[in-house]
């Protein structure tokens, strides 16, 4: 059974994986035997990522690429195939969020979020699928969100993009499942990262931050997730163990989407 979860001999590309969730997923893939490739938009971020992987004893391959630019993506994929090998696993992790009330958000700001969070996964998947078809297999994993299912104040663009990404996932499954390509999504819950640290700080009076209290009250697990909580699901969806799982969104949220929340005391 353990062999089914092995990624030995596989080339895995995780976008935006210099740090955070992408870094945790790529590191888990390396431990499972995969060769790791990642990109970021600036050389300094790529260098930072390479150093972080090296600290874990992982030899990663880093590339500078704007995933919203189709020409840059096609050039990067060609270079990876030449220097590392054909990509077996693609994780569309790169993303942004702009927390702005909808009526205060410009159309340009809305388009930017859609471009990074939805158009880029389309561009990336389109670039790797032809070689996956030739190779006879492939895994595409899109990092969705609970906002693929729910709305929330100030995240209209993000929710629209992540809802679209859920349906893009299902459509890639529909079009390319016949070629032994599986496309699934992971929907993280609220994850403890440097970006969310201010929301988890203990207040001067010793109480929890109001948003921290809100998340704990909505989460049956009664805690924030850790980036490592995504490792097992990500390895499963990248491995032979999930060869008949396709078009599915696996929510790793501690139960939030199953729960109406605590009754106010």
Whether 251 contacts 162, CB under 8 Å:
no
Query: Which strand ranges, in their side-by-side order, compose the sheet holding 249-252?
Result: 60-64, 35-40, 11-15, 89-92, 138-143, 181-188, 249-252
Tokens of 179: 């070629």
pLDDT for 53 beyond 80: yes
For the segment 106-129, the average pLDDT, to the nearest whole number, is 98
Cα–Cα distance for residue pair 224/227, rounded to 1 Å: 10
Q: What is the structure's pLDDT at 262?
A: 81
With CA atoms as reference, report the closest residue to 235 among 54, 6, 1. Answer: 6
Tokens of 71: 């020409």
Give residue 2's pLDDT band: very low, low, confident or very high (50, 70, 90). low
Q: What is the structure's pLDDT at 161?
A: 98
Give residue 196's pLDDT band: very low, low, confident or very high (50, 70, 90). confident
With CA atoms as reference, report the closest residue to 94 among 37, 20, 156, 167. Answer: 20
Q: What is the structure's pLDDT at 85?
A: 98
Tokens of 91: 């994780």
pLDDT for 192 beyond 70: yes
- Segment 129-182, tens digit of pLDDT: 999 999 999 999 999 999 999 999 999 999 999 999 999 999 999 999 999 999
Percent of the chain having pLDDT more than 70?
Answer: 99
Residue 256: φ, ψ to 5°: -55, -45
With CA atoms as reference, report the closest residue to 143 among 200, 74, 95. Answer: 95
Q: What is the structure's pLDDT at 33?
A: 97
Give residue 199's pLDDT band: very low, low, confident or very high (50, 70, 90). confident
Q: What is the structure's pLDDT at 87?
A: 98
Tokens of 59: 């030899």
Helix/strand/coil for 95: coil
- Segment 206-218, tens digit of pLDDT: 999 999 999 999 9
Tokens of 175: 């079009």
Which alpha helices (DSSP H) does 115-199 contain, by range?
120-135, 156-176
Whether 175 contacts 122, CB under 8 Å:
no
Q: What is the structure's pLDDT at 194?
A: 79
- Identify the bridge partners of residue 184 per DSSP, sorted by sequence position: 141
pLDDT for 40 beyond 80: yes
Q: What is the Cβ-side half-sphere exposure of residue 78, based on CA atoms within 13 angstroms?
A: 6
Average pLDDT over the chain, rounded to an integer:
96
Cα–Cα distance for residue pair 259/265, rounded to 1 Å: 17
Q: What is the structure's pLDDT at 1?
A: 59
Cα–Cα distance for residue pair 190/256, rounded to 1 Å: 9
Q: What is the structure's pLDDT at 69?
A: 98
For the segment 232-259, the average pLDDT, to the nearest whole number, is 97
Catalytic residue among 29, 63, 158, 176: 158
Is 63 a known active-site residue? no
């Amino acid at each position: 059974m353990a062999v089914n979860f092995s990624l030995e001999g596989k080339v895995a590309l995780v976008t935006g994986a210099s740090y955070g969730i992408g870094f945790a997923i790529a590191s888990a893939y390396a431990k499972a035997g995969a060769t790791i490739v990642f990109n970021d938009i600036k050389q300094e971020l790529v260098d930072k990522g390479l150093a972080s992987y090296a600290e874990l004893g992982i030899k990663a391959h880093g590339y500078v690429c704007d995933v919203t630019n189709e020409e840059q993506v096609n050039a990067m994929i060609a270079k990876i195939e030449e220097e590392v090998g054909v990509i077996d696993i693609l994780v569309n992790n790169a993303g942004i969020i702009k927390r702005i009330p909808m009526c205060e958000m410009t159309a340009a700001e809305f388009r930017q979020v859609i471009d990074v969070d939805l158009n880029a996964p389309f561009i990336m998947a389109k670039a790797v699928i032809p070689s996956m078809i030739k190779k006879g297999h492939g895994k595409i994993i899109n990092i969705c969100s609970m906002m693929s299912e729910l709305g929330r104040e100030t995240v209209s663009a993000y929710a629209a993009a992540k809802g679209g990404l859920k349906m893009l996932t299902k459509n890639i499954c529909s079009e390319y499942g016949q070629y032994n390509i599986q496309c699934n999504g992971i929907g993280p819950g609220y994850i403890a990262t440097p970006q969310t640290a201010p929301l988890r700080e203990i207040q001067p009076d010793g109480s929890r931050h109001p948003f921290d209290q809100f998340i704990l009250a909505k989460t049956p697990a009664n805690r924030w997730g850790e980036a490592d909580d995504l490792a097992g699901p990500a390895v499963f969806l990248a491995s032979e163990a999930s060869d008949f799982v396709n078009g599915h969104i696996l929510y790793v949220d501690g139960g939030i989407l199953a729960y109406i929340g605590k009754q106010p005391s």
